[in-house]
Amino acid sequence: MRNFHANLILSALAYALFLLAFVVKAEVATESKLNHNDLGQAAKLEKNKIIIVGDDYPPYFYPNSKNEIVGRSIGIINELAKNLDLSVEFQCLTWEECLEKSKNGTAEGIVNLSKNKERENFYYYPKVSLDISEWGVVFLKSNYKGKNVTTVNDLKNKRIGIVKDYLYPEDFANYKDCEKIEAISSQEVISWLIAGKVDFVVEDIEVTKHILKEFEKEQKENLDQVEFMPLIFSLDYLYLGLSKKSPNADELYQRIDKELSRMQNTGEIFKILQKY
């Protein structure tokens, strides 16, 4: 009888240990599953977070008085990001820095990028552009007494202010009979014109107008003397360039290309640009 009770106790103890092992195993499995889900969610969030860079280029991309990045391009990209569940960090840098970060994949995208064969080695270009740029020749009326500039040849022997690494209209880019002086930003090169350091500036017309408005707030002199020559270069398309070196570059390009095409077909892009 004593052996019977002993065996019964041992059986109960063994069963209790079995149940305990099962519970512990289940808890470990649940915790492992939760950790796996957490890692998966973190990976998804990381995958959906992208960096887009641009330079101070109003009205397309620029910091406002609160240091928030705003502009026509931002309006389109914000709507695009919402539709694709992307979290975007915008960074306003010099154009040289923008090209460096986007080429090496540190940034997934770069705004207001013109297209040429060399750049296509580094970037995917969606079929739909963000905007259109129109380039003109800017001068200071009080400093210039020559004839009107109606062709690129009228720039012969003149000092022309440009921004380093900008992609200019082909007819001007290929013209060699003038001195091209590089600045680091559109703001700097317009300042040079006002100060008489250059004879002309070749710049986007809308950008020039917005920079002059900024300068008015700073009460800079001679702003009423800044005018445009009759020569207008061909229109240029501005794209959201997508780095080929960034993680998930191919997939990101496919998603953005498809969504931008959809937004154009539905008129969403036009409505956003109308607000500006």
Question: pLDDT tens digit string along 217-237?
Answer: 888 888 999 999 999 998 899
Q: Is pLDDT above 50 for 2?
A: no
Whether 63 contacts 69, CB under 8 Å: yes
Q: Where are the alpha helices (DSSP H) in the chain?
A: 2-47, 72-84, 95-103, 170-173, 186-195, 205-217, 249-265, 268-274
Q: Is pLDDT above 80 for 10?
A: no
Lowest mean pLDDT among 31-45, 46-60, 155-169, 204-218: 31-45
Closest C-alpha among 212, 203, 202 to residue 159: 202
How many C-beta neighbours within 10 Å does residue 148 have? 11
Q: Which range, 37-41, 148-152, 234-238, has the best average confidence (pLDDT)?
A: 148-152
Q: What was the pLDDT predicted at 56?
A: 97
Q: Which residues contact 108 (CB under 8 A, 6 or more apart)?
A: 50, 51, 52, 102, 242, 243, 246, 249, 252
> If phi over 0 gives left and psi between -120 and 50 gives alpha, with beta otherwise, what is residue 132?
beta
Report domain extents, the chain.
Answer: 1-47, 48-131+237-274, 132-236
Query: Domain 48-131+237-274's class?
Result: alpha beta
Average pLDDT over residues 13-42: 42
* pTM, full prediction: 0.81
Q: How far apart are alpha carbons 109 and 113 in whole angstroms?
A: 10
Task: Detail the DSSP E strand segments found in 3-126.
Answer: 49-54, 62-63, 69-70, 87-92, 109-113, 123-124
The domain defined by 132-236 folds into D-Maltodextrin-Binding Protein; domain 2 (3.40.190)
Q: How far apart are alpha carbons 75 and 158 in whole angstroms?
A: 38
Instruction: Reply yes or no: is the peptide bond before residue 247 cis, omega within 30 of 0.
Output: no
Please state the length of the chain: 276
The reply to whether 48-131+237-274 and 132-236 are identical in fold is yes
What band does 88 get if pLDDT is binned at 50, 70 and 90?
very high
Whether 128 contacts 259, CB under 8 Å: no
